[in-house]
């Protein structure tokens, strides 16, 4: 049933590549209104996580409670989204993170982002807290409206998507929603969409749950206005031809992201037994892309207009009825090597349960692996775990813990707080593997020194999306923007400067938005960019824009309490492993940080961007705040 509410329309900002308006929703009052897109913000911060961060800067202060009504929940697309650009079907979610207290952002693929653009909006900004559960309907043929969601509350994310699609009744409906984990405010709950796609990291599903917003259904027919449609067709043909022929894309199409296990195991890149080793003891022979394909694969699944189709649907007849979403690389490490398990079947089932309940598989798996490590060390026992024996190599208890976490039951209520809070509560804070409250992804810093630097200074905590140095060091290059590959353990000033450029480039692609797996040559990307936006950029404009976006997020984090001491890595990964390709090596983080601050022109004592740096990046409005 629709809830009585007010709606105020607005004329859009006329800007090629943009729909020109945002939908604003105040859940406390039920008011909905349209807001013209801020053209200055769009030109400086593009879209996605960059534009979301700029609006967050206007709406969140140092005392904003991440789970309070005042924390804005921002859904944002970018100028590439919904166009014919291959692999540009993504969207970002931005808010202050309940996991870290810092700038939170998450990025998801599928079809929801393009459908929001078809419904006529570049983004949605949601504030307040509904007095009872609601869901939001956004279509281009009816006024946006809120509906009561009492009957949806408690459903898993698959059931929720089906129910919202049925309620909207349109031919094509895409749904973003939360599962029980978001409802119970698990600090690493994600926002789910298009079956198993997830805007997973930093706990933004918990923010959505705190607002009592169960789902957002979108449907529309509008086209994205392009600067030069004819030239865009030509540019897209060139980009598509490159992606289809690209060797990395072909490997990803063939093996999915789980191909990272095959490559990473050889490079010593895969963490095992809660980051204590990179020796997998044969796990790589049981959990890999070939095994998934031979034993469980049903079909490949693409995102919007993606020729790569890295997604997987699988069957697990002895455990789950029907076809389910298959695991990707991070999920496979989290519930395989990280707990010492050889069982691909359990990896698949763990990923399915995390999807159903709406959990970030990286943080969930890492937090559970911490519990295994504490149990093996005798720090906790079966009295603490509710009778579960958490032994390396036994994945069955992990499945029980996933459900406990989602509903905050038993031992899962503590684990739902994330690894940092678990370790602190048990009196062993140094044993948790995280940066600023966000659990590390599974690309080991002892294999890639630059990746360790990215984790230490990533604006949302330990984040491989902030800069995929490991990916570029597998042989990718972008010489136009100064990115080349070399020794993964190199720690020179030149390597630090290149790492900063990788981060700036990813700040741009996460705002445009473009999938990281589509690495088109920079000239092709710039040509495509010009046909969509009309902006005739040079390669340095990509990097400068990315640096501006990254620096803005750094400013916001200082607003939220970040200090120089936050730029660090956990002790577990700064300790050298005894065996494997990188035996005896650990990255010299402090030396790399000193060079990094010089490259960024940040104050070495505080870690703050210097005033002249802010001014040069068109961030002069924040000088007084950062340097009062």
Residues 539/481, Cβ–Cβ less than 8 Å: yes
Q: What's the mean pLDDT in 116-136?
A: 98
pLDDT of residue 170 exceeding 90:
no
What secondary structure letter does DSSP report for 243?
H
| pLDDT, tens digit (0-9, with 9 covering 90-100), for 371-423 | 999 999 999 999 999 999 999 999 999 999 999 999 999 999 999 999 999 99
Which tokens go with 188? Answer: 């690493």
Which tokens go with 4? Answer: 């009585």
- pLDDT for 291: 97
Preceding omega of 513 cis (within 30 degrees of 0): yes
Q: What's the mean pLDDT in 355-380?
A: 98
pLDDT of residue 523 exceeding 70:
yes
What secondary structure letter does DSSP report for 609?
B
| Sheet of strand 197-199, all strands in order from the earlier edge strand to the far edge | 145-148, 134-139, 213-219, 174-177, 191-193, 197-199
Choice between 6 and 80, residue whose per-residue pLDDT is larger:
80
pLDDT of residue 622 exceeding 80:
yes
Classify strands 213-219 and 323-325 as parallel, antiparallel or unpaired.
Answer: unpaired
pLDDT of residue 193 exceeding 90:
yes
> Is the four-CA dihedral 606, 608, 609, 612 of positive or negative sign?
negative
Q: Which of 468, 412, 420 is nearest to 441 (CA)?
A: 468
Rg of the chain (C-alpha set):
23
Residues 34/45, Cβ–Cβ less than 8 Å: no
| pLDDT, tens digit (0-9, with 9 covering 90-100), for 586-598 | 999 999 999 999 9
Q: Which of 397, 423, 419 is nearest to 410 (CA)?
A: 397
- pLDDT for 83: 97
CA dihedral 488, 494, 497, 499 (to 10 degrees): -10
pLDDT of residue 525 exceeding 80:
yes
Q: Which of 71, 114, 77 is nearest to 92 (CA)?
A: 77
Separation of alpha carbons 359 and 363, rounded Å: 8
Least confident of 25-39, 181-195, 253-267, 447-461: 253-267
3-class DSSP string for 412-469: HHHHCCCHHHHHHHCCCHHHCCEECCEECCCCCCCCCHHHHHHHHHCECECCCCCCCH
Residues 222/115, Cβ–Cβ less than 8 Å: no
| Strand partners for 139 | 219
What is the distance, to the nearest Å, from the Cα of residue 369 to the centroid of all Cα atoms in its chain?
21
Q: Is residue 215 within a helix (H) or strand (E), and if so which, with residue range?
A: strand 213-219
Classify strands 31-36 and 134-139 as parallel, antiparallel or unpaired.
Answer: unpaired
pLDDT of residue 569 exceeding 90:
yes
- Portions of the chain given CATH number 1.10.599.10: 451-626
Residues 410/382, Cβ–Cβ less than 8 Å: no
Q: What's the mean pLDDT in 41-49?
A: 98
Separation of alpha carbons 526 and 536, rounded Å: 8
Q: What's the mean pLDDT in 114-126?
A: 98
Separation of alpha carbons 557 and 258, rounded Å: 33
pLDDT tier at 30, thresholds 50, 70, 90: very high
What is the distance, to the nearest Å, from the Cα of residue 424 to the centroid of all Cα atoms in its chain?
25
- pLDDT for 29: 95
Least confident of 39-48, 216-225, 528-537, 571-580: 571-580
Classify strands 213-219 and 134-139 as parallel, antiparallel or unpaired.
Answer: parallel
pLDDT of residue 520 exceeding 90:
no
Separation of alpha carbons 564 and 607, rounded Å: 5
pLDDT tier at 1, thresholds 50, 70, 90: low
Q: Does domain 451-626 sit in CATH 3.40.30.10?
A: no
- Portions of the chain given CATH number 3.60.9.10: 6-219
CB-based burial of residue 255 (10 Å sphere; 0-12 exposed, 13-18 middle, 19+ buried)?
buried
pLDDT tier at 624, thresholds 50, 70, 90: very high
Q: Does domain 258-427 sit in CATH 3.10.180.10?
A: no
What secondary structure letter does DSSP report for 380?
S
Separation of alpha carbons 450 and 593, rounded Å: 11
- Residue 192 in 3-state DSSP? strand
Separation of alpha carbons 157 and 192, rounded Å: 7
| pLDDT, tens digit (0-9, with 9 covering 90-100), for 478-492 | 999 999 878 899 999
pLDDT of residue 211 exceeding 70:
yes
Residues 194/111, Cβ–Cβ less than 8 Å: yes
What secondary structure letter does DSSP report for 15?
-
pLDDT of residue 46 exceeding 70:
yes
Least confident of 14-28, 234-248, 609-623: 234-248
- Residue 197 in 3-state DSSP? strand
CATH, range 6-219? 3.60.9.10
- Portions of the chain given CATH number 1.10.569.10: 258-427
The mean pLDDT value of the chain amounts to 96
First-last CA distance in the chain: 50
- pLDDT for 42: 98
Helix ranges restricted to H, 312-408: 329-334, 344-357, 361-376, 382-385, 396-407
Phi, psi for 502 (deg, rounded to 5): -60, -45
The H helix count followed by the E strand count for the chain is: 27, 18
| pLDDT, tens digit (0-9, with 9 covering 90-100), for 243-264 | 888 888 888 899 999 999 988 9
pLDDT tier at 2, thresholds 50, 70, 90: low
pLDDT tier at 342, thresholds 50, 70, 90: very high
- pLDDT for 191: 98
* Cβ neighbour number for residue 266 with a 10 Å cutoff: 11
- pLDDT for 250: 87
Q: What's the mean pLDDT in 484-509?
A: 94
Residues 335/442, Cβ–Cβ less than 8 Å: no
């Amino acid at each position: 049933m629709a809830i009585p509410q007010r709606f105020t329309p607005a004329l859009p900002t006329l800007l090629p590549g943009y729909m020109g308006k945002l939908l604003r929703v105040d859940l406390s009052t039920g008011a909905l209104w349209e807001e013209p897109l801020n053209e200055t913000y769009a030109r400086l911060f593009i879209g996605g996580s960059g534009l979301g961060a700029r609006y967050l800067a206007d709406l969140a202060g140092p005392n904003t409670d991440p789970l309070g009504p005042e924390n804005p929940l921002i859904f944002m697309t970018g100028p590439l989204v919904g166009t014919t650009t291959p692999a540009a079907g993504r969207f970002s979610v931005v808010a202050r993170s309940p996991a870290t207290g810092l700038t939170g952002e998450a990025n998801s693929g599928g079809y929801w982002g393009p459908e929001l653009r078809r419904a006529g909006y570049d983004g949605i900004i949601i504030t307040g807290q509904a007095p009872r559960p609601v869901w939001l309907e956004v279509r281009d043929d009816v006024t946006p409206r809120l509906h009561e969601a009492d009957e949806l509350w408690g459903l898993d994310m698959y059931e929720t998507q089906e129910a919202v699609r049925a309620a909207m009744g349109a031919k094509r409906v895409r749904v973003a929603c939360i599962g029980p984990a978001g409802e119970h405010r698990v600090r690493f709950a994600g926002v789910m969409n298009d079956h198993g796609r997830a805007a997973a990291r930093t706990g933004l599903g918990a923010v959505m749950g705190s607002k009592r917003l169960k789902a957002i259904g979108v449907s529309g027919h509008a086209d994205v206005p392009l600067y030069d449609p004819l030239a865009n067709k030509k540019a897209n043909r060139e980009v598509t031809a490159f992606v289809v022929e690209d060797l990395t894309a072909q490997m990803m199409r063939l093996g999915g992201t789980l191909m990272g296990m095959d490559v990473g195991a050889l490079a010593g890149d895969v963490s095992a037994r809660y980051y204590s080793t990179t020796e997998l003891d044969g796990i790589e022979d049981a959990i890999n892309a070939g095994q998934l394909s031979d034993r469980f694969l049903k079909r490949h699944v693409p995102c919007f207009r993606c020729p790569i189709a890295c997604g997987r649907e699988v069957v697990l007849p002895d455990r789950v009825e029907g076809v389910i979403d298959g695991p990707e690389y991070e999920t496979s490490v989290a519930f395989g090597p990280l707990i010492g398990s050889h069982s691909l079947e359990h990896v698949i089932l763990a990923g399915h349960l995390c999807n159903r309940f709406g959990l970030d598989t990286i943080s969930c798996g890492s937090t559970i692996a911490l519990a295994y490590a504490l149990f093996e060390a005798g720090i906790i026992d079966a009295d603490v775990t509710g009778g579960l024996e958490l032994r390396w190599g036994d994945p069955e208890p992990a499945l029980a813990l996933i459900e406990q976490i989602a509903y905050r039951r038993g031992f899962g209520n503590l684990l739902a707080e994330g690894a940092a809070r678990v370790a602190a509560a048990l009196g062993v804070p140094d044993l948790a593997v995280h940066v600023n409250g966000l659990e590390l992804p599974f690309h080991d810093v002892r294999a890639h020194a630059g990746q360790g630097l990215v984790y230490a200074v990533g604006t949302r905590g330990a984040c491989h999306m902030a800069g995929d140095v490991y990916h570029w060091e597998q042989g990718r290059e972008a010489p136009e923007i100064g990115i080349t590959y070399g020794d993964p353990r190199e720690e020179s000033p030149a390597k630090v400067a290149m790492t900063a450029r990788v981060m700036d480039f990813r700040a741009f692609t996460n705002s445009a938005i473009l999938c990281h797996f589509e690495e088109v040559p920079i000239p092709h990307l710039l040509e495509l960019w010009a046909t969509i936006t009309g902006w005739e950029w040079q390669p340095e404009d990509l990097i400068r824009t990315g640096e501006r976006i990254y620096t803005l997020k750094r400013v916001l984090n200082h607003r939220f309490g970040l200090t120089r001491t936050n730029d660090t890595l956990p002790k577990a990964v700064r300790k050298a492993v005894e065996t494997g390709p990188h035996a005896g090596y650990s990255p010299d983080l402090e030396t790399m940080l000193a060079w990094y601050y010089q490259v960024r022109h940040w104050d070495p004592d505080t870690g703050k961007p210097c005033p002249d740096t802010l001014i040069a990046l068109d961030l002069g409005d924040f000088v007084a705040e950062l340097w009062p």
